Structure 1
Amino acid sequence: MIAQYLPEFNLFNLLVVCIAFALGGFVKGIAAFGLPTIAVPPIVLFMSLPSAVSIMTIPMVVTNFVQMMVSGRIKSVILRHWRLFLGLFIGLPIGVFMLSAVETQYLLIAVGIFLMFIATLEITGISFSFLGTRENLYGPLIGLAAGIIGGITTLYGTLPVFFFIALGLEKDDFVSAVSVMLFGGSIFLLLSLQSMDFLKPTEIAYSVIGLIPLFAGMWVGTKVRGRIPQATFKKFVLILVALIGVIMIYRALF
Structure 2
Amino acid sequence: METLTRLLGADALPLLFVISATFLLAGLVKGVVGLGLPTVAMALLGLVMTPAEAASLLIVPSAVTNAWQLLAGPNFRPLLRRLRPMLVGICAGTLAGGAMLPRDLTGYASTALGAALLLYAVIGLAAVRVAVPARMEAWAAPAVGAATGLVTSVTGVFVIPAVPYLHGLGLDKEDLVQALGLAFTVSTFSLAASLTLDGTFRPAVAATSFYALIPSLAGMFFGQWVRSRIRPEVFRKIFFAGLLALGAHLSLRSFMP
Does the alignment reach a TM-score above 0.5? yes
Q: How does 1:79-90 map to 2 (within 5 A)?
A: 79-90=81-92
| Deviation of the 1:148 alpha carbon | 0.7
Q: Tell me whether 1:100 sits opposite 2:99 in the alignment.
A: no
Counterpart CA distance in 2 for 1:20 and 1:113 is: 19
Counterpart CA distance in 2 for 1:133 and 1:122 is: 24
1:121–1:43 distance in 2 versus 1, CA, 3 Å: closer
Counterpart CA distance in 2 for 1:205 and 1:9 is: 17
**Deviations 1:95-130, CA, capped at 9 Å, x for gaps:** 33436254446655664554455445435xxx4214
Q: Bigger CA drift: 81-90 or 108-117?
A: 108-117
| Deviation of the 1:133 alpha carbon | 5.0
Counterpart CA distance in 2 for 1:8 and 1:134 is: 55
Normalising by structure 1, report the TM-score.
Answer: 0.80
Paired amino acid for 1:122: A
**Deviations 1:123-160, CA, capped at 9 Å, x for gaps:** 5xxx4214555222222211111111111222113421
| Deviation of the 1:195 alpha carbon | 0.6
1:223–1:77 distance in 2 versus 1, CA, 3 Å: farther
Counterpart CA distance in 2 for 1:179 and 1:99 is: 30
Name the counterpart of 2:202. 200
Q: Tell me whether 1:122 sits opposite 2:124 in the alignment.
A: no
Name the counterpart of 2:178. 176
Instruction: Report the secondary structure of 2:157's partner residue.
Output: coil
1:15–1:116 distance in 2 versus 1, CA, 3 Å: closer
Counterpart CA distance in 2 for 1:166 and 1:147 is: 19
Paired amino acid for 2:43: P
1:175–1:251 distance in 2 versus 1, CA, 3 Å: same
**Deviations 1:187-223, CA, capped at 9 Å, x for gaps:** 1111110110001344223222221111111123345
RMSD, matched Cα: 3.2
Q: Tell me whether 1:217 sits opposite 2:222 in the alignment.
A: no
| Deviation of the 1:13 alpha carbon | 0.8
1:201–1:184 distance in 2 versus 1, CA, 3 Å: same
Q: How does 1:128-147 map to 2 (within 5 A)?
A: 128-130=130-132, 134-147=136-149
Counterpart CA distance in 2 for 1:135 and 1:41 is: 31
Q: Bigger CA drift: 30-39 or 81-90?
A: 30-39
**Deviations 1:63-97, CA, capped at 9 Å, x for gaps:** 22222222342212101111111111111123334
Paired amino acid for 2:153: G
Name the counterpart of 1:163. 165
Name the counterpart of 2:250. 251
Counterpart CA distance in 2 for 1:119 and 1:60 is: 21
Count of matched residue pairs: 245
| Deviation of the 1:25 alpha carbon | 1.0
Segments of structure 1 that go 5 or more residues without pairing to the other structure are: none
